[in-house]
Amino acid sequence: MMVTENGAKTILYLGGCRSGKSRLAEEYCRTAFDLRTYIATMTITGDEEMNERIAMHRLQRGVEWRLVEEPRDICGVLGSVPENGVVLIDCLTMWITNMLLADTSDTFMEQEVRRLCDLLRTPPCTVVLVANEVGLGIVPESALARRFRDLAGWANQQVAGVVGRVVFVAAGLPLLLKDEGGL
- For residue 163, give the 3-state DSSP assignment: coil
Please give the pLDDT value at position 137.
Answer: 83
Listed by start position, the domains of the chain span 10-179
> pLDDT tens-digit profile of 63-76?
889 989 899 999 99
Could you give the CA distance from residue 181 to residue 165 in angstroms, rounded to a whole number?
A: 9
Q: Rounded to 5 degrees, what are φ and ψ at 88?
A: -110, 120
Residues with Cβ within 8 Å of 9's Cβ and at least 6 positions away in sequence, in order, are 1, 2, 3, 126, 127, 164, 165
b/e per residue 24-46 (b: at least 16 CB within 10 A): bbbebbbeebebbbbbbbbeeee
pLDDT greater than 50 at residue 183: no
> pLDDT tens-digit profile of 129-159?
999 999 888 898 999 999 999 999 999 999 9
The percentage of the chain sitting over the pLDDT mark of 90, rounded to a whole number, equals 69
Q: Which residue has the higher pLDDT, 169 or 139?
A: 169
Q: Which of 57, 58, 66, 115 is catalytic?
A: 57
Superfamily covering domain 10-179? P-loop containing nucleotide triphosphate hydrolases (3.40.50.300)
Task: Let me know if 131 is a catalytic residue.
Answer: no
Measured in whole angstroms, how far is the alpha carbon of residue 94 from the centre of its chain?
Answer: 9
